[in-house]
Amino acid sequence: MELIELIRQFARKQARLVSHYPRGHLTLAGTLCGIVLVLLVLPLGGGEDEAKSRTEIVLDIDLSPDLERSVEPRQDQTDELAMSDFIITPEIKDQPKLEDVTLWQNIEIKSGDKVSAIFSKVGLSDQDLFRVLNSSDEAKVLNQVYPGYQLDFLIPVNADGKGELEQLRLLKSPLEGFLFTRNNNNYDVESILNFPQLRPTFKVGTIADSLFMAGQREQIPAVTIMEMANIFGGVIDFILDPRTGDDFSILYDEKYLDGEFIGHGDILATQYTNQGKTFTAVRYSNDEGEVGYYNAEGESMRKAFLRSPLDVFRISSNFNPNRRHPILNTIRAHKGTDYAAPRGTPIRATSDGQVTRASRNGSFGNLVIVKHAGGFETKYAHLSKYANGIKKGKRVRQGDIIGYVGTTGSATGPHLHYEFLMGGVHQNPRTIIDKLPKAESINPAEMDSFRTQTADLLKRFSNMNSTTFITLNQPSAD
């Protein structure tokens, strides 16, 4: 009924308009209204071509009520605004591109350190260590690291703070080591071998108290002094033989890598004057790479046996077949020589040979027995411990460390009991040495090679000695 009533009202209004206005005016007005309606319905803009020229940009912007927007409508706009009339400018904070940060971490291994703990310290897991250890046979070197070795880790760290082991460098020394490089889930291994620059260094000294104190005064490395003592060990006992006023000289190499000092090298030539008698030794390497020290005539400085198995000691008891035992108070032969020395002092094999025993033996305590060619045998008793690898059947060279001074067995204080047997019969270790032949000297067929290699070195060394000692012996001007 309401619809019928609306139609009747519209008809009455239409009749009133017709009665007041001419038909032509009404037609014109209707046409204009139609045009306006059409314009309102059609979209604004340039049509299809213009739509194609526009690029649609999708912004991922939170339009929730909580988002504060500073948007001002234009002055000529009505309250009813379409969303397309807003200019939205979101606030974008500076976010610099995060690139991988490369970090080298260098760790020197100390006594008691474990590789697994070091891996954990630099942020790596046991799985990382497992992958490295199982990458190759060479990687097993990580199971036998020693104090002084260096581990260098190259770990690129990404944006979330995590990283993978890219490279691992194990340096036994500045000259030798291994480099592990990641290759997918494995590691390739290559050896590191650097060659240092060698610089000859010449030093002289005079004995006032001991050889070692003299070397310390002249700033000669202890290892070099020890090497010199070993070179002359067959002809000089550096505990009993040196006298005040003895002098010595050493020409040895110092090692440099990239201009940086990294250590001491071999002795090239050395000289020692003991109680007026001068001994000179020069380094020589034969065609097989075997190195030895010889005098100018090619005679080896080595005796078949060293005069003593220790570098630092005092003799507390000599060989004495009629000695009265200090505890039992009975006559009991002392079949060796006792060398009193600090606990832990290294003990050296006095000649080449094979270990026939390295175990505990009653009053001897920890005992090492070495059998030598020619029917000789040496015994080393009361050791605190054995050197690494020393066991029955082990071959040793003259000067090799076989154990350390201790107090095991019946020892009343730290010392080494040393025995020397020839054909099963005990001999006095301090006097038998002079009756034994030297080690083999240069073969006559090799003498030309020896002279070619050593002649210039011996000449220069002789000139250094002459110039230096003449200068040292000149009286100072008053």
Q: Tell me how far apart the alpha carbons of residues 336 and 329 are, in angstroms, rounded to a whole number.
A: 18
Question: 344: helix, coil or strand?
Answer: coil
Question: 70: helix, coil or strand?
Answer: coil
DSSP characters over 206-228: E-SS-HHHHHHHTT--HHHHHHH
Are 273 and 203 contained in the same domain? yes
- pLDDT one-digit tens code per residue, 170-181: 999 888 999 999
Q: Which residue has the higher pLDDT, 95 or 381?
A: 381
- Helices 2-20 and 23-41 meet at what angle, rounded to 10? 120
Residue 360 lies in a domain: yes
Are 329 and 246 contained in the same domain? no
Residues 6+ away with beta carbon under 8 Å from 338: 315, 316, 317, 318, 415, 416, 417, 418
Q: Tell me how far apart the alpha carbons of residues 33 and 439 are, in angstroms, rounded to a whole number.
A: 131
What is the pTM for the complete model shown? 0.58
Are 177 and 218 contained in the same domain? no
Residue 128 lies in a domain: yes
Residue 79 lies in a domain: no
Are 213 and 278 contained in the same domain? yes
Decide which of 150, 171, 193 is a domain's last residue: 193
CATH number of the domain that 255 lies in?
3.10.450.350
Residues 6+ away with beta carbon under 8 Å from 304: 234, 351, 372, 374, 376, 436, 437, 438, 439
Residue 65 lies in a domain: no
Tokens representing 108? 């020197």
The conformation of residue 90, written as its DSSP 8-state character, comes to: -
Least-confidence region, from 90-99, 172-181, 279-288, 421-430: 90-99
Q: Which residues pair with 37 in a beta bridge?
A: none
Q: Which pLDDT does position 92 carry in this prediction?
A: 36
Give residue 185's pLDDT band: very low, low, confident or very high (50, 70, 90). Answer: confident
Are 346 and 381 contained in the same domain? yes
Burial group, residue 415, by CB count within 10 angstroms (0-12, 13-18, 19+): buried
Decide which of 294, 323, 353 is a domain's last residue: 294
Q: Which pLDDT does position 235 carry in this prediction?
A: 81
- pLDDT one-digit tens code per residue, 427-477: 888 778 777 777 778 989 999 999 999 999 999 999 998 887 655 555 555
The answer to whether the CB of 250 falls within 8 A of the CB of 220 is: yes
Single-letter residue type at 385: K
Q: Tell me how far apart the alpha carbons of residues 52 and 39 are, in angstroms, rounded to a whole number.
A: 22
Are 129 and 219 contained in the same domain? no
Closest C-alpha among 312, 103, 84 to residue 215: 312
DSSP characters over 222-252: HHHHHHHHHHTTTT--TTTS--TT-EEEEEE
Q: Which pLDDT does position 335 carry in this prediction?
A: 79
Residue 286 lies in a domain: yes
Residue 218 lies in a domain: yes
Residues 6+ away with beta carbon under 8 Å from 477: none
Measure the CA angle with vertex 383, ends 378 and 384; round to 5°.
165
Are 166 and 221 contained in the same domain? no
Closest C-alpha among 346, 273, 337 to residue 311: 346
Are 187 and 225 contained in the same domain? no
Residue 64 lies in a domain: no
Residue 338 lies in a domain: yes
- Mean predicted confidence (pLDDT) in 355-369: 95
Number of structural domains the chain divides into: 3
CATH number of the domain that 431 lies in?
2.70.70.10
- pLDDT one-digit tens code per residue, 303-359: 888 888 987 666 756 645 555 555 555 555 567 888 888 999 999 999 999 999 999
For residue 281, the enclosing domain spans 197-294
- Mean predicted confidence (pLDDT) in 259-268: 91
The answer to whether the CB of 172 falls within 8 A of the CB of 149 is: yes
